[in-house]
């Protein structure tokens, strides 16, 4: 590895293959999202061209919301308009990335076992919220957090760490970015969150008017899910802040 390259290692060739397929799917369908180029595809590793840049900060939220809106809208136009949130999405070679519901049901059950949900009643409530949100046009989820985007010195945004994709409703991944920004930097102003949602809706709606309609109540539902799903990581991975006491409405 040189200063111009970065190598990421994987436990199995299957993980390498999945990472490559997800990378190429995003490159083809999620424009204008930019990803680092492959240098070497190995059996147990991937070597990328190194991108110099910084992580996302709260002031970058409007630009990132616009990018995600266009990426989700483009993917819906290109490939996801017939996708079902409850069914894994198939590649041409027959492999798939996960549906919206299955991995999150598993993760929420795990949060109960880990003690991040107080009882089964709380689990049933958050599972009901998950089911409620599984509607509308289909986008993708790539774990948008501040470290998974790099802002280059020229101001371009490069998306990294795209190994695992799932299906998700429109704006669910925007909610993940908002959630992880507030866990990293502290509470965000309400006006900033509203402006980000407006920017996302405007960008997504550019691709089809049915895509730019996420309202604040639905965004809060997504944030409530992320509050439970991210609970084990608070205090780790740069997440130094907890959730504000009354926000979102459902807490882990």
* Residue-range domain boundaries for the chain: 53-233
pLDDT in tens, 212-236: 999 999 999 999 999 999 999 999 9
Ranges of beta strands (E only) in 4-108 are 5-9, 38-41, 45-49, 89-90, 96-97
Closest CA to 165 of 26, 13, 33: 26
Cα separation, 199 vs 31, whole angstroms = 17
User: What top-level class would CATH report for the domain 53-233?
Assistant: alpha beta
pLDDT in tens, 151-192: 999 999 999 999 999 999 999 999 999 999 999 999 999 999
pLDDT in tens, 59-70: 999 999 999 999
pLDDT in tens, 4-59: 899 999 999 999 999 999 999 999 999 999 999 999 999 999 999 999 999 999 99
Provide the whole-model pTM.
0.94
Look at residue 250 and tell me whether its pLDDT is greater than 50.
no
CA-CA distances (angstroms) from residue 231 to 112, 132, 183, 250?
11, 21, 10, 12
Treating both helix axes as pointing N-terminal to C-terminal, what angle do 101-114 and 120-133 enclose, rounded to 10 degrees?
A: 160
Q: Residue 68 in 3-state DSSP?
A: helix
Q: In this predicted structure, what is the pLDDT of residue 7? A: 95
Q: In this predicted structure, what is the pLDDT of residue 94? A: 78
pLDDT in tens, 101-133: 999 999 999 999 999 999 999 999 999 999 999
Cα separation, 178 vs 195, whole angstroms = 12
Closest CA to 170 of 131, 108, 227, 222: 222
Q: 151 and 157 in contact (C-beta within 8 Å)?
A: yes
What φ, ψ does residue 94 adopt, rounded to 5°?
A: 95, -15
Q: In this predicted structure, what is the pLDDT of residue 3? A: 76
Torsion of CA 30, 207, 151, 196, to 10 degrees: -130
**pLDDT band for position 1 (cuts 50, 70, 90):** very low
């Amino acid at each position: 590895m040189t200063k111009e390259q970065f190598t990421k290692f994987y436990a199995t060739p299957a993980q390498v293959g999945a990472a490559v397929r997800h990378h190429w799917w995003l490159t083809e369908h999620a424009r204008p999202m930019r990803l680092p180029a492959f240098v070497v595809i190995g059996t147990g590793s991937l070597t990328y061209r190194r991108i110099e840049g910084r992580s996302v900060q709260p002031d970058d939220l409007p630009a990132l919301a616009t990018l995600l809106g266009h990426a989700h809208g483009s993917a819906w136009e290109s490939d996801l308009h017939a996708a079902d949130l409850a069914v894994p999405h198939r590649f041409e070679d027959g492999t798939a990335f996960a549906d919206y519901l299955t991995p999150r049901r598993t993760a929420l059950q795990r949060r109960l076992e880990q003690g991040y949900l107080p009882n089964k009643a709380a689990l049933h409530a958050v599972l009901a919220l998950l089911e409620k949100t599984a509607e509308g046009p289909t986008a993708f989820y790539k774990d948008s957090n501040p470290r998974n985007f790099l802002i280059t010195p020229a101001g371009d945004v490069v998306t990294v760490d795209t190994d695992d994709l799932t299906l998700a409703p429109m704006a669910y991944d925007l909610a993940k970015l908002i959630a992880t920004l507030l866990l990293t930097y502290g509470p965000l102003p309400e006006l900033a969150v509203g402006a980000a949602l407006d920017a996302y809706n405007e960008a997504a709606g550019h691709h089809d008017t049915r895509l730019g309609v996420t309202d604040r109540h639905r965004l809060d539902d997504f944030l409530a899910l992320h509050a439970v799903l991210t609970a084990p990581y608070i205090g780790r991975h740069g997440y130094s802040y907890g959730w504000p006491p009354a926000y979102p409405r459902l807490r882990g």
